[in-house]
Structure 1
Amino acid sequence: MPASVGGYVWRHSGKHQVGLAVLSIMVFLLSIWPLEIQRRIVNDAISSRSLSAIVWLSVAYFGIALLEGVLKFILNLYRGWVSERAVRHLRMTILGLARCVPRRHDSQEEEGVEIALVLSEAEPIGNFVGISVSEPLLQTGILVSVLVYIAHLRLEFALVSALVFLPQMIIVPLIQRAINRRAAMRIRTLRQISSNMIGSTGSTVADSRDQLKRIDTVFALNMGIYTLKFGMNFLMNLLHHLGVAVILGIGGWYVVRGDIDVGAVVAFVSGLAKIVDPWGDLINWFREATVSSVKYQLIETAARRIATSGAWADRSV
């Protein structure tokens, strides 16, 4: 296996990542058109009282939404295929090595636990392969496209939108690192619990006490992860609504003064709402990327340890 999860992604699915990237670009290039059509319906069509203009703009809106939906469907299906292909490859590789390489009799139980845990951790790593390139490209493309569109209409509103996410760009990586540390400790502790349950020949008071401590440790780590994750979500939602309030206030004042039209304010608010999902998806991608990297390193470490002990021959996964 390559040294990093990124190396595995490119070695196993490089050409498919290119195809996923092309689909992602096609999707985010369509993302700003619904905003412009909304603005034109509110301003041009309604002010001119032209029924035909309203109908044609509505049909155009639906057509773009349909095309975007079809492309997203194809993209997600393609991602799923790439992910499952990677999961299958990881599992077949691990099971193939387990069957072909002789193992010591005195460590078979421990090796069985190790292999079972590695197999279970292969699925989230494989799932990440499908979104490793296309997801950040798609969501970043939507963010940039919408911000550029808003800046084209009114620069100060684009600055407000950017300021909404600036604190998150600083805070989120810090919180995610704390989550990653707890996730890695949780995986190691669960491995210790499983190894002790299967590998021990008898149950002593000391063993039971240690197992209970490990279970309590997993509980505390999980609660810490929940607290950090939901606290981060609370912060993101709070900043989003703050941005909407600022745009509505400033936009309403500009409309009263006659500096902008109502359609522009509608486009600004819709644009800010359209940014929220991509930003949240980027946060989730960053979380999955870092957790997958941790799990991949744990699999590498486990394989190396078993190989060194003689459980697996001097071969790499």
Structure 2
Amino acid sequence: MMPRSLLVFIWQVSGRRQILLCGLTVIVSLLTTLPLELQRRIVDDAIHGQAVDLLLLLSAAYLGVLLVQGGLKYVLNVYRGYMVEHVARDLRHRIFDGTQGKEGAHLVKQGAIVSMVAAEVEDLAGFVGDSVSFPLLQAGTALSAMGYLIWVEPRIALFAILLYLPQLFVVPLGQRRINRWGNIHARLLRKMGDTIVGTSVGGAFDRHGRPKFRRRFMRLVMGAYRTRRAVYRVKFFLTFFGNFLDALAPLIVLSVGGWLVIKGEVEVSTLVVFITGFQKVADPWDQLLTFYRTASNAKVKYRLIADALPQPVSA
């Protein structure tokens, strides 16, 4: 049986593992601002002060932080991958038991079962692996970096915050369209599988020697082709819009920050930190928007799978 809620299912199949992943994620997020501060100290204290010993010490600390952070991310990703495969195995067991047992033997056509066990399970299991730790990591990284930039120079940081606000309105509008077309596309793929599995064995042929179900199959192929094209138009517009805003960030640093440097209110090292810091905000922000889109698609696919399996009988 599949729970009605995707969140309940996630907790049911991976609750304890998600807790461990969150613990590792918090540690990785807290290490985000250390390289930024070390960069600033290297420029302001070591290079300007011409202190070679301090330069070597800060550089060694910088290298150590990168190694620790990279090692923790490696452990995090490997463990998340193990969890994804655990969830995929569990889902395949549920689909098999739900469609091959007495209650569901005739509930789902064989072509749809093939689609569910293959691509749909892979996509849904991948989302479960990322469902908690991934947004926590990206949000923690972005907030840590932005908080540090606000502490260093709030005026430049304010422009960065305003830069990304339009995406909060544009992305949800586009995602609703992607969800609608994605739902239709998944159903068309299932019908294609049903058409092949249900009629290819012992099926009739026309006078040209082609299967009679070929015309229906071609219509389904054309429908899937059109839905994917519709998805691409919206999806890549959102990508273009996000990339354009990301490209504006260095321009803001150089223009606003440069004006403050000329006025003598900001050090040049602050600009160096902000260029790096904006990248540490932009990358996780883009990942969060991608995760939002993935989560929307995962809800659609979960409902398709859950609705196809026998539902629990109410007492």
Using structure 2 for the length normalisation, give the TM-score. 0.91
Residue pair 2:22, 2:133 contacting (<8 A) in 1 also: yes
Q: Aligned with 1:259: secondary structure?
A: coil
User: Paired residue for 2:167?
Assistant: 168
User: Distance in 1 between the 2:205 and 2:267 partners?
Assistant: 76
User: Paired residue for 2:10?
Assistant: 9
User: Paired residue for 1:311?
Assistant: none
Q: Aligned with 1:48: secondary structure?
A: coil
Percent identical: 35
1:173-188 aligned at under 5 Å gives the runs 173-188=172-187
Change (3 A) 1:46 1:290: same
Instruction: Write the deviation string for residues 5-52 of structure 1: whole angstroms up to 9, x where unpaired.
Output: 211000111111111111110000000110111111111111101111
Structure 2: which 5+ residue stretches go unaligned? Answer: none
Instruction: Write the deviation string for residues 42-101 of structure 1: whole angstroms up to 9, x where unpaired.
Output: 111111011111111111111111110011011111111111100001112222344443
User: Paired residue for 1:115?
Assistant: 113
Change (3 A) 1:315 1:100: farther
Change (3 A) 1:159 1:99: same
The AA in structure 2 aligned to 1:111 is K
Deviation at 1:260, TM superposition (A): 0.8
Residue pair 2:135, 2:288 contacting (<8 A) in 1 also: yes
Q: Aligned with 1:288: secondary structure?
A: helix
Structure 1: which 5+ residue stretches go unaligned? Answer: 308-313
User: Distance in 2 between the 1:253 and 1:102 partners?
Assistant: 72
Deviation at 1:234, TM superposition (A): 1.0
Deviation at 1:176, TM superposition (A): 1.3
User: Distance in 1 between the 2:104 and 2:191 partners?
Assistant: 20
**2:20 is the counterpart of 1:19:** yes
Residue pair 1:142, 1:275 contacting (<8 A) in 2 also: yes
Q: Aligned with 1:49: secondary structure?
A: coil
Residue pair 1:114, 1:302 contacting (<8 A) in 2 also: no
Residue pair 1:41, 1:57 contacting (<8 A) in 2 also: yes
The AA in structure 1 aligned to 2:33 is I
User: Paired residue for 2:157?
Assistant: 158
Using structure 1 for the length normalisation, give the TM-score. 0.90
Q: CA RMSD in A?
A: 2.1
Change (3 A) 1:277 1:65: same
Change (3 A) 1:299 1:203: farther
Change (3 A) 1:51 1:100: same
1:155-234 aligned at under 5 Å gives the runs 155-200=154-199, 201-202=203-204, 207-234=213-240
User: Distance in 2 between the 1:117 and 1:111 partners?
Assistant: 10
Deviation at 1:212, TM superposition (A): 2.0
User: Distance in 1 between the 2:300 and 2:249 partners?
Assistant: 35
**2:47 is the counterpart of 1:49:** no
Equivalent residue in structure 2 for 1:273, among 274, 279, 285: 279
Q: When you count helix as a share of all residues, which structure comes out higher?
A: 1
**2:129 is the counterpart of 1:133:** no
Instruction: Write the deviation string for residues 128-187 of structure 1: whole angstroms up to 9, x where unpaired.
Output: 111110011111111111111111011111111111210111111111111111111100
